Structure 1
Amino acid sequence: MTTLLPAPRVTLSRLHAPTLQTIPEAVAENVRRVRATCSARIMAVVKADGYGHGAVTVAEAAVAAGAEWLGVTDVADAVALRDAGFTVPILSWLNPSGADAETAAALRIDVAVGSVEELRQLIADAVDPVRVHLHLDTGMARGGCPLDDWEELFRTARAGRGRVEVVGVMGHLPRADEADPRANAAAVLRFRHGRDAVLRAGFGPVLVHLAATSGALTDPGTHFDMVRIGAGLVGIDPSGATTLAGAARWTAPVVHSALVPAGTAVGYGGAHITERETHLSVVGVGYADGIPRELAAEAAVAIDGARYPIVGRVSMDQIVIDTGAVPVPRGTVATVFGPEGGVVPSVQEWARWAGSIPHTVVTGIGARVQRSVA
C-alpha cells in the first residue's frame, strides 16, 4: 500500500499590495469647508464609485458631516446606497440606460429629466408616482432641457401628474471652474427665469439647485436651496481657487531594484538613457492600474521622505524610478500620491503631469488596486 505524504507547505513572500486608502475624515472636513461658505443644503455626489474613493465610504463620511442628500449617476447606483442603509434623499440625474421608474418609486429615489422625451418615457413606465427634478439647460448644451422646449416640458409634467411629481428644478454652471461670478452671470439669470417659469407653471414648492463644487465655494449667487458637491468631497476644487483636503493615498511596492551603469536604456523603446551609474527600481503599478501613460518629465513618486522621478515609458503593470545613489530594497512602499504634501505628490500634480484634470486621475484607478479605509 502506497502512503501519500502531504505536500510540503510553501510560504509565500508577500509584498504590500498596490492600495488606494480612502480617508473619511478628509471627506468630512471638505463637507465642513463647504458648510462654512453657504447655508444651502448639501448634496454629496458619489457618482463613479465616489470619484474612485468608494461610494459607500464617501457617502457615510459626508452624511455624518452634515450632507442632507446624495447624488448618483443612475438608479442602480442609488439602489446600492439604499441597500447599504442610507435613508436620506437620493437624486439620480444621468441614467444613461434609462431610469427604472418602478424601482425609483418604490425606493423613493428622485429622478432628473432633461428632455420632453425622457419625461414622456418616465410617465409611460411609471405605475406609482416618481419624484422628478426638471433639469434645465442653462447654457452648457450638455444635457438639460433646451430653452425652446421648456413650455412643452411643463405641459408634459402637468399631464403626467399622478405618475410623476415635480419636486425640484436643477441646472449646471457651464463655466464654474473659472471661479468668477461674471463668467456664469448669464447662466444664473437663465436659471432664475427657469425657476420662475416652473413656479408659474403650477409646480411648487420645488427644491432649486444649480451649483456644484466650484460654484458652492466661490459664488454665493449660485447657491439657491442646495449645492451639489462631488469632486470637492475628495479634495478637488475644479476652479483651483480653494485648497481642500485630499481624501486618498495611493501606495505600491517596489518589486525589483538594480544598480545600472551609465548609458542604460530604460523601458520599451529605450525612451530614457541613464546619464550616470544609478539605482533603478520598478514599482508595481502601470497604466492598467491608472498611471497615465503620457507623463511630464517631472512625474515622480515618494519613498521614505524623498521624491524620485519616473523614467522611461509607463508599462501596463510597472513604472521605473531613478533613485540615484540610494538603493531601494524590494518590498519598499512607494507613495504615488497622498494628502501629506511636501515630497508626496498630490492628485493635482499628477493631473498636471498627465496634461489632464484630477478627476481623471482618481476615477481611472483600476480594479487591481486594493481599496482600504483609513
Structure 2
Amino acid sequence: MSTKKTLVLLFGGISSEHDASKKSFEHVLSRLTEKKILEIFATIKIAYISREGKVLFTPYEQKHPAAWYARQPHSITIIDLLAHLTQPNIFVFSLLHGQHGEDGCMQGVAKFLGVSGSFGTVLSAAVAMSKSHCNTFVAGLGTEVHIPHSQIVSAEAAISTAIAAWRPGEKVVIKPSSLGASILTELHTIGPDNKTIAELLKKILAYDSTALLQEFIAGEEYSCGCLEEHGVVTALPLIQVITEQQFFGHSEKHTLGKNEERVIMPEQESKIHSRIRHLSERLFQEIGLQHMARFDFRVAGDKLYFLEVNPLPGMMENSLFPKMLRAAGKNIEDIVILTYWNVQQLSKKVTEFRYHID
C-alpha cells in the first residue's frame, strides 16, 4: 500500500485578501504537473473557501483552469472540510492570505485539530501579521535596525488627536495594522485640512481593529525573502523596489508598470545589502517563523529601517517572492515540497501532564 500522502491546496477564504489568494492559487496550480510534485504525493485535491465561507472540495484534474475550482455547484461546510483535513494521509499547503488565514486563526485551528500543513505557528503568525506588535517586538531585540515613528489609532474618536500630533508638511504612511497586500495603504502629507486622512483611517477601522500613522522614510526600499530548510534559514536574493514617488502602496504593488524591481544577486551586494539579508535571517528565527517569509526594509543614508514581515508571501507569478525564488534557482513546486519535509521533521510535543490539586 502506498505511503504517499494527498496534497490539498487550500485557497480563497473570508479575508479581504480573497482575490490575492485566488491569484496565488492560479500560479501554484500551473506548477502541479511538475514531476517533483507527483513523486512526493499520491493525489492532489483542491479546497476553495468562498467569501461566504462555503467550501468546494474537488479532486485535481490537469484539464481544469484555476477558475473552475471556484465555481462548482456542490459545497460542503468548513466543519466538513476540517473533518477531511484531519485525516492522517493529508498534507495541506495553505494559500489563505490575510485575516483568518495567516494571522494565527487558521494556525490555531490546525494546531488544535492536528491538521498537517504549511500553516506555521500561532504565535509567529499573530505577531507577524500585526504590524504594531511586530514593530514593538523587533525594536526590543536591540538590533541595528530602526523602526519608523508610528502612532496607533483604534477608535474613531481618537482620529483627530492622532492627526494633530503630526506637524504640517510631514509625510505619513496611513495603513492597517493587520491587513496585507498593502490594502488601504496610502502616503499623505499633513496639511491644514486632513479630511482625506481622517476618512481613510475610518475606512481602515471598518476592516481592522487598529490603524497606523507611520513616519514616511524617504530612501531605497528592499524586500528580502527567507526559506527554512532542515532547520536552516537562508535569505534569498534581495529585490530593490523602485517607484516614482518612492512609495510602494497597493496600486504600485499590483499594477504592472508602476514599479521597477531590481534583483540583487549575492555577488552584487554592498554592505547594506548584506546587512539586510543577515537581519532577515535573524528576524525569521527570533519571531519563530516557519518555512518562508518576506521582510520589507527602507534604507536612508546608513540607517536601516524595518517596515514589516509577510509570513505567507504572495505566490502570484509577478509577485516579489516567486521572483526571488527564481533568482535562487527555485520555483513554487520546490516550496510545496520543502514545507512538506519541514513538517515531517517536526516532533510532536506531549500535552498531557497529570497532577494532584488539593
Question: TM above 0.5, one fold?
Answer: no
Structure number with bigger Rg: 1
TM-score, structure 2 as length reference:
0.26
TM-score, structure 1 as length reference:
0.25
